Amino acid sequence: MASHKLPNYLRVHRKRLGLSLNEVAFLLGWRGASQPSRYEHFSRTPTLRTALALAVVLQVSIRDLFSGEYRKAESAVCRQAQRLEARLTMESPDQRTARKLAWLKRIGSADGNPS
């Protein structure tokens, strides 16, 4: 695994299947190849609906297809989880808080793990 993931791996999965940009555009119901090309060149980020459609077309999970974006979101959530964990530790310990803390620890430890 590389130290920095690319925002998406659309190009490699498309080429692996031997699909052209025009064919991907057709499958997604677009007129031209410019939109998928923009995604492949990282100049645009697809909407959730488009990302799901791309995952269906290329038969790859969203997490694998958008590894870089996934990592970015994961580390942002982990940072927030650590903040919330620190805040909850200050509060009076009851069963509910303990359950939340255990869950937040799991989220916090997920950062940096291979996906």
Partner 1 sequence: MTSNKHNPKRVLAIDPTSRGFGYVVLESPTTLVDWGGKVIRDQNEAKTLAKLSELIRHYGPEIIVLEDPRESRRCARIQSLLDGVCRLATEEGIESRRVPISRVKKVFHAFRATTKHEIAQVIAQQLPELAPQLPRYRKAWMSEGYGMAFFDAAALALTYFHFRLLRTAGAPQARPMAENLKRSELV
Q: Is 106 in the site for partner 1 (CB under 8 A)?
A: no
Q: Is 79 in the site for partner 1 (CB under 8 A)?
A: no
Binding residue for partner 1, selected from 20, 34, 38, 41, defined by CB under 8 A: 41
Q: Is 1 in the site for partner 1 (CB under 8 A)?
A: yes
Torsion, Cα 58 49 44 107, to 10 degrees, reads -90
| Residue-by-residue DSSP string for 70-84 | HHHHHHHHHHHHHHH
CB-based contact 22:30 (threshold 8 Å): no
Q: Is 28 in the site for partner 1 (CB under 8 A)?
A: no
**Would you tell me which residues interact with partner 1 (CB under 8 A)?**
1-4, 6, 9, 11-12, 15-16, 18, 41-42, 112
